[in-house]
C-alpha cells in the first residue's frame, strides 16, 4: 500500500479535524471525515482505513471532563470495533482532546483491576494554556516518532497534566519507552517547558506496540515554516516539525 486511508473522527465541539486532515494529505494519505454517530451506526466505515485519528478540540464541550463523553461512547458502543482495528496492525493517533479520549477509554493504556493506569487532568495553573513548547522524542517504540529526537510545537489545553496512578506505573511506562514525548528546555534555557505540571514532563504516550499514540501538543499546527511564531526572523526549513508525525504514519504502510 502506498497511500493509506485515514479516518478522522469528529464530534460536536471538535475543531481541528480539517487542519489535521490537511496535514495527513500533505504527508500523502487519503482522508475521510466521519461524525461519531456515523461510525456508531455503520462500524464498517472504519474497515477500509489504516489510520484512525481523533483530532483536537472540545468534544461535547468537554462537559463533565475533557473527552469524557466521547470516551464513554467509545467504551459502550465501539469497544470491539476499536480493538479489532488495533489488532489488524493499524495505527491510531489522538491529538490533545483525542489523547484525553484515548486515555479515558483505556485503549491507549489498558485498564487493570486497580483502574486506569493514568489520567489527564487540570493544568497546575487551573486555566487554559496556549504556548509553544520544546519537546524531546523517544523513537524507540512509537511508530509516529521514527527518527525523531526533538520538536517545537504549540499546546492549547486546560486539562493536559499527565498523572500516573503510581510510581510503579510510571516506572513501567518509562522502561517500555512508552513515554514517547516529553517537555524539554530550549534556546539555552534550563527551564523545561512543562507549563501544565505533567508528571515526569510527559507530553505524549504510546501503547506497548507503538501503534497507538496520544499527545497534547498540536503537530497539525506546525507543518509549514510560516506557522512558526518567529518565521520572519529565523532561517527555518520549509517543513514544520509536526509534519514528521503524519509522514511517519503514512510511511508505516509504504
Q: Where do runs of H (alpha helix) occur along the chain?
A: 17-26, 36-41, 68-73, 79-87, 97-105, 167-175, 243-251
Pairing mode, strands 91-95 and 212-215: parallel
**What pLDDT, on a 0 to 100 scale, did the predictor assign at position 190?**
86
Active site residue 220: yes
Q: Which residues pair with 134 in a beta bridge?
A: 152, 184
Nearest to 148 by CA among 140, 156, 158, 157: 140
Is 35 annotated in the active site? no
pLDDT < 50 stretches in the chain: none
In the beta sheet, which residues pair with residue 121? 161
User: How do the domains of the chain map onto residue ranges?
Assistant: 5-251
Give the pLDDT confidence of 195-232 residue by residue, as tens digits. Answer: 999 999 999 999 999 999 999 999 999 999 999 999 99
The backbone region for 141, taken as left when phi is positive above 0, alpha when psi lies in -120 to 50, beta otherwise, is alpha
Q: Which of 142, 159, 206, 220 is catalytic?
A: 220
Choice among 96, 134, 157, 228 that is catalytic: 96
pLDDT per position as a tens digit, 8-25: 999 999 999 999 999 999
**In this predicted structure, what is the pLDDT of residue 1?**
55
142, 157, 206, 218: the catalytic one is 218
86 is catalytic: no
- So what's the pLDDT on residue 2? 77
Domain 5-251: which topology?
Rossmann fold (3.40.50)
Amino acid at each position: 500500500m502506498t497511500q493509506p486511508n485515514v479516518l478522522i473522527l469528529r464530534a460536536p465541539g471538535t475543531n481541528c479535524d480539517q487542519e489535521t486532515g490537511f496535514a495527513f494529505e500533505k504527508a500523502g494519505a487519503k482522508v475521510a471525515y466521519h461524525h461519531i454517530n456515523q461510525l456508531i451506526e455503520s462500524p464498517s466505515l472504519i474497515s477500509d482505513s489504516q489510520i484512525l485519528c481523533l483530532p483536537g478540540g472540545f468534544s461535547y464541550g468537554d462537559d463533565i471532563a475533557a473527552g469524557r463523553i466521547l470516551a464513554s461512547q467509545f467504551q459502550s458502543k465501539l469497544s470491539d470495533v476499536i480493538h479489532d482495528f488495533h489488532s489488524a496492525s493499524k495505527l491510531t493517533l489522538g491529538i490533545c482532546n483525542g489523547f484525553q479520549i484515548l486515555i479515558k477509554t483505556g485503549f491507549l493504556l489498558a485498564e487493570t483491576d486497580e483502574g486506569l493506569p493514568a489520567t489527564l487532568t487540570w493544568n497546575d495553573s487551573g486555566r487554559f494554556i496556549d504556548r509553544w513548547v520544546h519537546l524531546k522524542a523517544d523513537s524507540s517504540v512509537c511508530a509516529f516518532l521514527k527518527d525523531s529526537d526533538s520538536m517545537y510545537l504549540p499546546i492549547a489545553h486546560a486539562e493536559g497534566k499527565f498523572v500516573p496512578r503510581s510510581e510503579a506505573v510510571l516506572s513501567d511506562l518509562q522502561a517500555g519507552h512508552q513515554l514517547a514525548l516529553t517537555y524539554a528546555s530550549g534556546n539555552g534555557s534550563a527551564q523545561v517547558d512543562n507549563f501544565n505540571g505533567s508528571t515526569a514532563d510527559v507530553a505524549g504516550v504510546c501503547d506497548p506496540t507503538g501503534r497507538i499514540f496520544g499527545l497534547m501538543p498540536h503537530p497539525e499546527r506546525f507543518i509549514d515554516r510560516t506557522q512558526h511564531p518567529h518565521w520572519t526572523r529565523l532561517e527555518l526549513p520549509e517543513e514544520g516539525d509536526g509534519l514528521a508525525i503524519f509522514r511517519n504514519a503514512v510511511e508505516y504502510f509504504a
